[in-house]
Amino acid sequence: MTALVIVVAAVASVAACTTSPDESLLADRPGGGGAVVGTIRNEPQTFNRLAASDNVSVLMTRLMQASLVRINRTEDVVEPWLAERWSSDDDGRTHTLTLRDGLTFSDGAPFTSADVLFSFEAVYDERVGSALADSLLIDGRPIGVEAPDATTVVVRFPVPYSPGLRLLDSLPMLPRHLLEPALREGTFQEAWGLATPPAEMAGLGPFVLESYQPGQRLVFARNTRYWRTDAAGVPLPYLDRITLEIVADQNAEMLRLETGEVDFISSGIRAEDFGSLSRAAEAGQMQLFHLGVGLDADFLAFNLQPAAMAGDPRQPWLQSLDWRIAVSHAVDRTAFANTIYLGLAEPVFGPITPGNRTWFLPDLPVYDYDLQRAQELLDGLGLGDRDGDGLREDRGGRPVRFTLLTQQGNTSRERAAQVLQADLRQVGIGVDVVPLAFGALIERVMSMDFDAAYLGFRASDTDPTANLDFWLSSAAFHLWNPSQPTPATAWERRIDELFGQQVAISDMDERVRLFAEVQTLFAEHQPVLYFAAPRLSVATSTRLANVEPSLLAPYVLWNADTLAVRGAQTPSP
């Protein structure tokens, strides 16, 4: 291998444009490429991606902002994006990127390497406290960035990093000319809040925010300064407008899709809606895309932060490994998949599902359905039914029960919490289910104010190194016990070490082997319990064209700049 390897040169022209528009999209209709309507279930937390951790804010970033490189979510490859090409040293540490010439933000300000430096500075600033920062640390250290000139950026990893520039997909390039004052004043967290007028924001994405009506909708208009064109030279995006209606109730959301009021929903379809949507698709009234087992499975997490027991020392069993193994044994995963997802799911024992074909480990250690073993483990913790009422008590006579938080209005999660409540009742455990609005649920979980929670998060990439904020003990998103100064357990320390080794080698087989050990340790210690991974299907109206749904969220809008309306005229070159 030479000292300097030029990569992605063959792909650069592909990323700068896309295929020619379908002739069916070019009907003679003035006024541009038409408009579509979709749904989201929750309000955004903020318009500031670095201050956000919710899925809606991430989705908005895909519409309004852009990154140096992009992961093509259907081909799972890294594409040039704001950077048109790059070269990489053979040690895997230094990458020199060339920015596309003449790019401007949506407000007309030029995009230069100074904006790249600013974006990295902002994400790593401790006062910002960005949830993205942990995923952009390598070996616990930030990425070094230099700008020799206005169109060149040199990225230096602190150690060899085999996934390369892939992790930069998640970092939007922000306008220094608008946000630098907030960063200098230490108020970046409050910048671009929900009350910010759309005209005061700018991005490099295909759309700009036109309006926001709390509790009702967000409207995005075509960014006329967007840089991409298709193969015929037609400016992108094709669409003039995307409206996202805020519909918290899933039944109401599905009704709008079935009646044609909306063109798509931002999530996958529920198992209970599969039959009716399949019939609609067979009748030509709907487009239905079957993507296989999804990448994301909901989970049961117990609060393992030592401070959580400080206020209630009566429940030490909640943080016991034998407790978690007993709970795992008490749940029949096959029945769980059939009940919650009507059989449209696969039983799982860890966070990596069969949908992630590269990294899934099929022969994990399992604590399968075994009520007798669950009861033996609970007995060993000194938890028995001392008064004969069917529920266990500890040695002091206090009831063995805990509060389980879940997402209100999410029917599969509410149903799963009820199934867990019933399953654990069989082994004498009382569960108080408390559904909360999504924002309140996330606030409780992130502040570690919970006994247990049943919820889910979306992976940002198929490669596990993109989700180090979940895996590493020091990370803020290490859900069960976040931001540990030093690893609290030997197995967490070992996982930290394995990831340190895994990211530093280029041999893919060895990377897979090391991550298999990570998954094995995770399955043995069950810090988070997984039960079933649903199959993912996406439904849209028949008027929506160029749909290329992905297993990675956002399922429909990841390629929003090439979506189109059948019969609408695309903008002229």
The confidence score (pLDDT) of residue 17 equals 46
Nearest CA to 435 among 461, 407, 458, 455?
A: 407
Residues in contact with 390: Cβ distance below 8 Å, sequence separation at least 6, in sequence order: 425, 428
**Dihedral angle over CA of 484, 315, 434, 193, nearest 10:** -20
Task: Return the pLDDT at 308.
Answer: 72
The CB density around residue 315, as the number of other CB atoms within 10 Å, is 17
* Alpha helix ranges (H) inside 346-472: 371-380, 411-425, 438-446, 468-471
139-146 contacts, C-beta under 8 A, 24 or more apart: 139/500, 139/503, 140/474, 145/116, 145/117, 145/120, 146/117
Tens of pLDDT along the chain (573 residues) come to 333 333 333 333 334 444 444 444 443 333 347 999 999 988 898 999 999 877 888 899 999 999 999 999 989 899 999 999 999 998 779 999 999 999 999 999 999 999 999 999 999 999 999 988 988 988 889 999 999 999 999 999 998 888 899 999 999 999 999 999 999 999 999 999 999 999 999 999 999 999 999 999 999 999 999 999 999 999 999 999 999 999 988 899 999 999 999 999 988 899 999 999 999 999 999 999 999 999 999 999 999 998 876 656 568 899 999 999 999 999 999 999 999 999 999 999 999 999 999 999 999 999 999 999 999 999 999 999 999 999 999 998 999 999 999 999 899 999 999 999 999 999 999 999 999 998 899 899 989 999 999 999 888 789 998 888 899 999 888 999 999 999 999 999 999 999 989 888 889 999 999 999 999 999 999 999 999 999 999 999 999 999 999 998 889 999 999 999 997 654 444
pLDDT of residue 313: 58
Q: How far is CA 81 from CA 66, 169, 433, in A?
A: 8, 9, 45
Q: Is 112 left (phi over 0), alpha (psi -120 to 50) or beta?
A: beta
What class has domain 4-240+541-565?
A: alpha beta
Indicate where the chain has its CATH 3.10.105.10 domain(s).
Answer: 299-534
**Predicted local confidence at residue 58, as pLDDT:** 83
pTM: 0.84
Q: State yes or no: cis peptide before 237, omega within 30 of 0.
A: yes
How far apart CA 408 and CA 437 sit, in angstroms, is: 5
Are 124 and 192 within 8 A, CB to CB?
Answer: no
Categorise residue 181: left if φ over 0, alpha if ψ from -120 to 50, beta otherwise: alpha
Which position has the token pair 């792909």? 11
The reply to whether omega before 554 is within 30° of 0 (cis) is: yes
Q: Could you give the residue range(s) of every CATH 3.90.76.10 domain in the chain?
A: 4-240+541-565
* Alpha carbon distance 475, 485 (integer Å): 10
Distance CA 269, CA 278 (A): 11
Question: Per the structure block, which two tokens stand in for 256?
Answer: 């709008």
201-225 residues labelled b (16+ CB within 10 A) or e (exposed): bbbbbbbbbeebeeeebbbbbbbeb
What CATH superfamily is the domain 299-534?
Dipeptide-binding Protein; Domain 3 (3.10.105.10)
Give CA–CA dist 131/512, Å, rounded.
26
Give the residues across from 5 on adjacent strands: 88
Q: Which residues contact 116 (CB under 8 A, 6 or more apart)?
A: 68, 99, 145, 147, 153, 173
* Phi and psi, residue 290, nearest 5°: -100, 120
Upper half-sphere CA count for residue 500 (Cβ side, 13 Å): 12
Cα–Cα distance measured from residue 331 to residue 339, given in angstroms and rounded to the nearest whole number = 12
Amino acid symbol at 468? L
Three-class secondary structure of residue 565 per DSSP: strand
pLDDT on residue 14: 38
Question: In this predicted structure, what is the pLDDT of residue 487?
Answer: 96
